[in-house]
Amino acid sequence: MKDVSDIQAMMADIGRNARTAAAELACAPSAAKALALEVAADAVWTRRAEIIAENAKDMAFGREKGLSDAMLDRLMLDEGRIQGICDGLRAVAAQDDPVGAVMDAWGRPSGLNIRRVRTPLGVIGVIYESRPNVTADAGALCLKAGNAVILRGGSESFHSAGVIHQCLVDGLTAAGLPTDAIQRVPTRDRAAVSEMLKMTDTIDVIVPRGGKGLVGLVQREARVPVFAHLEGIVHIYIDAAADPEKALKIVLNAKTRRTGICGAAECLLIHRDVADTIGQGVIKALIDAGVEVRGDGGLASIDGVVAATADDWGHEYLDMTIAAKVVDDVDAAIAHIRTFGSNHTDCIVTEDDDVADRFFQRLDSAILMRNASTQFADGGEFGMGAEIGIATGKMHARGPVGAEQLTSFKYLVTGDGTVRT
């Protein structure tokens, strides 16, 4: 479907079908939603060879497009990662159903009894790049929260995402739930994205998951409310009171475990008092691990360090590159992060409780960590089973967005012939 009028008609149909499905899902039994996810997990595992074969097509397409190694790593699926998809689906299935949960309850002198209870958002549009596992994560979390979802994956993951979506539909069918509860936009045409951003009558919220270009496009053009997931310009600050062994382990893991995820460290800040000791050791270890370190003047004397430029501060590399800077103290680190960070995830390495408290209190990132790798900035690691993204805005959802964050609430008010005087 290349003709824009066809895209408009197709998206209108998808939106209407999602709205109808959402009305039914809002009161779907918890057991049915759990069954759908369990069956989907079984289907993904049963069809793992097919998924890997389709993923090989996606990888070839990605290479032709010139994707970086880090982006290809995001795209790649093997048996281990497919097992992770299955585990995530089952973990979400096992979670408590947030829909209908009583958030608060109170009585009034008038005789009214008031309850605030969780309700689905309705229809969620998810626009994402590269990572085919997001198909399963987003579908599962939206279903768990009683929402219908429209999935528009990246052109790179078109084939493997398609098979994963079929597995989710198999689960819906087995559980007797509407198959339109989880729909996938069946085209690579970018006109479908533009259309989704205008579907105010049928989509309640858009969740973009991808790079700065995608998220910026969605924020600029969307008429539908957006859960922003901005780039992960992740900082680690090594304090004067840092434990050397912890600092080394944390920084190496945060940078090198997987460079293409949003929790990967992108900038290292080092207290001046430990720049020649702990700092130098960490930087040498990074270089030995194959990381290009772009350092400021205070680090330029270390063999192998590349001189940093102004463009390196606030840069998301998503690769084996990290910026590094010497700072005077925790307040200087905080000032740097406020200037160049993205309010995603930032970490302090220190044994000083007061300094750690100051770091936590004076920064407003969605996730703040102490003495732990920023690679843990992930809904699965937070016990959510999966995540639809890391929201960096301040409205409604913030941090890892799991099933509970994909709900709203309503007030249920009960009286006994109660009238207002």
CA–CA gap between residue 49 and residue 60 (Å, rounded) = 17
- The one-character DSSP state at 226 is B
Q: SS3 letters for 267-334?
A: EEEEEHHHHHHHHHHHHHHHHHCCCEEEECHHHCCCCCCEECCHHHCCCCCCCCEEEEEEECCHHHHH
Answer for the pair 146, 172: CB distance below 8 angstroms, yes or no: no
Please check the confidence at residue 384 and state whether its pLDDT lies above 80. no
pLDDT at residue 59, rounded to an integer: 96
Residue 116, Cβ neighbours under 10 Å: how many?
15
Label the pairing between strands 390-391 and 399-400: antiparallel
pLDDT at residue 403, rounded to an integer: 93
- Band (5; pLDDT cuts 50, 70, 90): low
The model's pLDDT over 63-109, given as tens digits with 9 standing for 90+, comes to 999 998 888 988 999 999 999 999 999 999 999 999 999 999 999 99
pLDDT at residue 281, rounded to an integer: 97
Please name the residues in contact with 288: beta carbons below 8 A apart, sequence gap of 6 or more: none
Q: Among the listed ranges 176-190, 202-216, 398-412, which one has the minimum average pLDDT value?
A: 202-216
The model's pLDDT over 320-361, given as tens digits with 9 standing for 90+, comes to 999 999 999 999 999 999 999 999 999 999 999 999 999 999
Tell me the two tokens of residue 181: 């509860």
Q: Would you list the DSSP string of 209-221? A: ES-HHHHHHHHHH
* Alpha helix (H) residue ranges in 47-146: 48-65, 69-75, 79-94, 133-144
Distance of CA 327 to the CA centre of its chain: 30
3-state helix, strand, coil in the chain (%, to 5): 45, 20, 35
pLDDT, average across residues 404-421 = 95
> Given the structure tokens 């690769």, which residue do they identify?
319
Higher pLDDT, 394 or 296: 296
- Band (3; pLDDT cuts 50, 70, 90): very low
Higher pLDDT, 209 or 373: 373
Work out the percent of the chain whose per-residue pLDDT is above 90.
83
pLDDT at residue 74, rounded to an integer: 87
pLDDT at residue 295, rounded to an integer: 97
Please check the confidence at residue 215 and state whether its pLDDT lies above 90. no
Delineate the domains of the chain, giving CATH numbers in brackets: 4-227+401-414 (3.40.605.10), 234-376 (3.40.309.10)
pLDDT at residue 214, rounded to an integer: 84
Which residue from 192, 196, 233, 234 is spatially nearest to 212, judged by alpha carbons?
A: 233
Average pLDDT, the chain: 94
